[in-house]
A = this chain, B = another copy of it.
Amino acid sequence: MYTYNHSLANINSLLSEASRHNIEHTLDPTIRDSKANTNWSPAPPDHTPSVVFFPHTTHETSIILKACNDRCIAVTPFSGGTSFGGALAATKGGVCISFERMKSIIAVHEDDLDVVVQPGLGWVELNEDLKERGLFFPVDPAPGAKIGGMIAMSCSGTNAYHYGTMKENVISLTCVLPSGNVVKTHNRPRKSSAGYDLTHLLIGSEGTLALVTEVVLRLSPLPRNLHVGLANFSTFQEGVQVVVSLQKLGHRLEALELADGPTMQSVNVSGLAPQRTFREVPTLFFKVAGPSMHIVQEQISTMKELCKTQGASSVEITQQEDEMNIIWGARKCMGTALLAMKKNSKDIFLHSDCAVPISNLANLVAGTQDLIAQASAAHQASWFCANVGHIGDGNVHSSIVCPQEHYEVAMSVIMKITRLALSLEGTVTGEHGIGLKLREALAEEVGDDGVTMMRSIKSALDPKGVLNPDKVFKIEKEGSAPKL
């Protein structure tokens, strides 16, 4: 049984310890609230931390985490705050450790294509800095995301199809355990088979096992001879089939994204891409790049041919910067554009994050459309349903916009979509993580024994359960301490 002591006396003792080491912190209610309760992931007031600490170094992080562990005070880490599903909520109260003061680039190794950074650095800022060297870090989630949170959630984005997710782009981590021990999981070589893969164990562990304080990231050369393209189809399946054929031929484009008709409608309605009106049919967005123009031309002609074979009604490809920005801008705005489909400002917006083997993707989307249409009809409402996918990875975000009073039933439809993905050999979350909301779905995905296995790892590395309790799985199983 885990017990926490969040009494005023205990918190004050922690504050004294922090002051003794000059560790920056605040009790400001607005700041405290902002660390747990975000637009992306609202949390109730009792899930607000009592203090927010701002360590500047690995050493300070170690001091404060050990002090919390010694006092049985729960710790919720904070990075960019763009995650979904409740990963930031301080469910047990306790304190927040925010990494916003640790945002330096420590070293860039151009010949090795890697960079050493602190966890509070944003990927956008990192790429701004790397641009002049002709390099970039390819993982591209929400613009506000920071490296620490990106590791915690094992995120990805539109570049994952070509460059991989965080799992493929983190070389090593320095982390602090609840004991205060500091472990560097790995040095800087590209590969290693030296013992357990602690790096990957921490990626996606949502801050429940250790706090990451320094990271070596893999870099890539900036794409050359970039072209952006767009193809219209009459069905989602046609777009999927282009991707399947492409990969069998051994081509790997820079990016491949597929949006259905309603998603394209939302782009038009939103006014977020005002430079042109898009056709409201399934649309494949893609990027092509390569070390030479010949190589790119070759890929473009293959792509045109495959789109034609699948019955594309139009294919356009451009390397004009302004046109590329308009087309890719339309893809990038979709997350926000879907909000424009609210008929009433109080309407709610829910979405899934399933990924399936690509051969099952069209079935997932068709099944999703059916589920939403059925629920919508049963409630004599016209819910808005849209699907947009990181198609190369089989990852699709299905969205529902519906009246607020349908929240419960819409949530149950999202869960049905998630179960449909599982029945199609998929995962309940491709890139957003489990947080609080998908804990039961996780148990359906890996089984109770899988969750028990995770729980026993948690218990081994964080015996008092102080690190981000209740995320990924409930900290306690039916009131008792976890055991295998």
> Which residues on A are within 8 Å of B, measured CB to CB?
109-114, 134, 153-156, 160, 164-165, 167-168, 177, 179, 181-198, 200-201, 203-205, 209, 220-221, 223-224, 244, 247-251, 290-292, 294-295, 298, 302, 355-359, 392-395, 422, 425-434, 438, 442, 445-447, 449-454, 456-457, 459-461, 463, 472-473, 484
Q: How far in angstroms is the closest Cβ of chain B from A22?
A: 25
B185 and A432 form a contact (CB under 8 A): no
**Whole-angstrom CA separation of A454 from B457 in the bound complex:** 10
Chain B hits for A430, CB < 8 A: 189, 191-193
**8 shortest A-B CB distances, which residue pairs?**
A200-B200, A460-B460, A192-B427, A154-B193, A189-B355, A111-B359, A112-B357, A250-B291
**Whole-angstrom CA separation of A453 from B179 in the bound complex:** 11
5 of the cross-chain contacts (CB-CB < 8 Å) are A184-B447, A189-B356, A189-B393, A198-B453, A292-B298
Tell me the dominant secondary structure on chain A's binding face.
loop
A446 and B184 form a contact (CB under 8 A): yes
Most chain B beta-carbon neighbours within 10 Å: one of A111, A447, A456: A111
**Whole-angstrom CA separation of A427 from B190 in the bound complex:** 9
Chain B hits for A438, CB < 8 A: 194
Most chain B beta-carbon neighbours within 10 Å: one of A165, A195, A453: A195
Chain B hits for A449, CB < 8 A: 177, 181-183
Chain B hits for A247, CB < 8 A: 113, 221
Chain B hits for A156, CB < 8 A: 191, 193
Contacts A247-B221, A357-B112 given; does A198 touch B395 at CB 8 Å: no
